[in-house]
Amino acid sequence: METLTVTGVTKTFGGPRPAVDELSFTLGGGEFGVVVGPSGAGKTTLLNMIAGLVPPDTGEITLDGASLAGTAPERRDIAMVFENYALYPHLSVRRNLEFPLRAPVRRGTLSRSQITDRVTQVAETLRIPHLLDRLPSQLSGGQRQRVSLGRALVRRPRLLLLDEPITHLDAKLRHEMRTELKRIQRELGVTTLYATPDQSDALALADLVVVLDAGRAWQVGTAADVYERPANVTVARTLGDPRINLLPGRRDAAGVTVLGQRVDADHGPAGPVTVGVRPGDVELSTEPLAGAAAGRVLLAQTLGYQDVVYVDVEGATVRATVPAGIVARPGDPAWVRLPAARLHVFEAASGQALRHREVV
């Protein structure tokens, strides 16, 4: 159970802004941390720095209280699962799994039979014993992913890094592997840091979420923290599917004005604000509604269990989720009401949160 701390870590590759900028967080021993952010956010750079493949410019990374600076990657005992799996193509699955156990740094620590036992054990955990004699080129994407995970786990690393391990799997397999990952991580109790562009991975898996964008950590907290109480617009935008509505508004002593409607929320000094409201909190009606803004349906998509309706209100597009089966055709009139208790309010210029949605 090794605690990972990242303190003030910065890395610049010569671009206009740092790839990773003054990043700090602490991941407790045995916890599952998820770094979520779009491509180019600096996720891979962060993992590479923790792994020792890329040296940070400044800042400190410690594992179990000891600084990793100056420790070569092969001596860190950190395992990583790569986005493209990075299996050894010239070695069979069995040899791939044995590879870390036969490494020079572990010479003499395991006997031949112990290595065999470990490989058998991890193959069973990952349900791949029947694939042991194949070459990576003879495996499907999902199978390669399992072998890659097995190679990372077989030596019981101090820290497990996962770089978008399931991004390239198809949707069904992705859900299956996600559940599987959680199960295995719980069973082994290995401290895990998982990088993904998929916000649903973060909400489903994480004990700790780090929202990363443009190299900066915009919020660090539990899944509930970052989803229910986003510290700023970037975090609100990153988490939730369909995405949160972010609408221009004004705040004054009487409340907030948004979509031309006055909402009795967040009284405060006057100024422009950004109002955030989750599509599920938007009240949508095909009949006129008290305190609602009038608009027109742009598009309706069904997700099966619910529909996402896009409504144009005074030039702004509002996304609302409604139970499946409510018929909304493009061009239909629609009324949108934003319940006061459900609004997030952010300062317009800085994007900092002024007020959070009340949790029921």
Partner 1 sequence: MRAAGWGRRTVLFVWVLFALFPVYWTFITAFKQQVDIYDGPRFIPFVDFQPTTQAWRTLFGDGGGDFFDKFANSIIFSGVSSLLAVILGGFAAYGLARHSYKYGPYRNDDLSFLIVSQRIMPPIVSVLALYVVFVNLRLLDSSFGMILAYTAMNLPLTVYLLRTFFEAIPVEVEHAAALDGYPQWQRLARVVFPLAAPGLAAAFLLSFFFAWNDFLFSLMLTFNDAQTLPLYITSLNAQSQPLWWLISAVGLVALVPPAIVTVVLDRFMARQVLIGGMR
User: What residue ranges bind partner 1 (CB under 8 A)?
Assistant: 48, 51-53, 72-80, 82-84, 86-90, 99-100, 103-106, 135-137, 151, 155
Q: Is the peptide bond before 242 cis (omega within 30 degrees of 0)?
A: yes
For residue 130, the 8-state DSSP code is G
Q: Which is nearer to partner 1, 158 or 229 (CB)?
A: 158
Closest approach of partner 1 to the CB of residue 133, in Å:
14
d(C-alpha 192, C-alpha 49), whole Å: 15
CB neighbour list of residue 276: distance below 8 Å, 6 or more residues apart: 230, 233, 236, 244, 245, 246, 247, 343, 344, 345, 346
d(C-alpha 352, C-alpha 138), whole Å: 50
Closest approach of partner 1 to the CB of residue 82, in Å:
4
d(C-alpha 114, C-alpha 121), whole Å: 10
Q: Which is nearer to partner 1, 138 or 179 (CB)?
A: 138
Q: Which is nearer to partner 1, 106 or 267 (CB)?
A: 106
d(C-alpha 286, C-alpha 295), whole Å: 10
Q: Which is nearer to partner 1, 39 or 331 (CB)?
A: 39
Q: Which is nearer to partner 1, 139 or 209 (CB)?
A: 139
Amino acid at 316: A
Closest approach of partner 1 to the CB of residue 215, in Å:
21
Closest approach of partner 1 to the CB of residue 235, in Å:
30
Q: Are 325 and 316 in contact (CB under 8 A)?
A: no
Q: Which is nearer to partner 1, 108 or 315 (CB)?
A: 108
Closest approach of partner 1 to the CB of residue 345, in Å:
43
Closest approach of partner 1 to the CB of residue 72, in Å:
7
For residue 226, give the nearest of 235, 213, 237, 234 by alpha carbon. 235
For residue 54, the 8-state DSSP code is S
In the β-sheet with 255-258, what is the strand arrangement from edge to edge? 261-263, 255-258, 245-252, 271-277, 344-347, 353-355
Closest approach of partner 1 to the CB of residue 115, in Å:
13
Q: Which is nearer to partner 1, 135 or 299 (CB)?
A: 135
Closest approach of partner 1 to the CB of residue 139, in Å:
9
Amino acid at 201: D
Q: Which is nearer to partner 1, 17 or 106 (CB)?
A: 106
Q: Are 259 and 274 in contact (CB under 8 A)?
A: no
Closest approach of partner 1 to the CB of residue 134, in Å:
12
Q: Are 42 and 10 in contact (CB under 8 A)?
A: no
* DSSP state string for 264-319: -----S-EEEEEEE-GGG-EEESS--TT-EEEEEEEEEE-SSEEEEEEEETTEEEE
Measured over the CA atoms of residue 263, residue 265, residue 268 and residue 269, the dihedral's sign is: negative
Q: Are 147 and 98 in contact (CB under 8 A)?
A: no
Closest approach of partner 1 to the CB of residue 146, in Å:
15
Q: Which is nearer to partner 1, 48 or 199 (CB)?
A: 48
Q: Which is nearer to partner 1, 65 or 104 (CB)?
A: 104
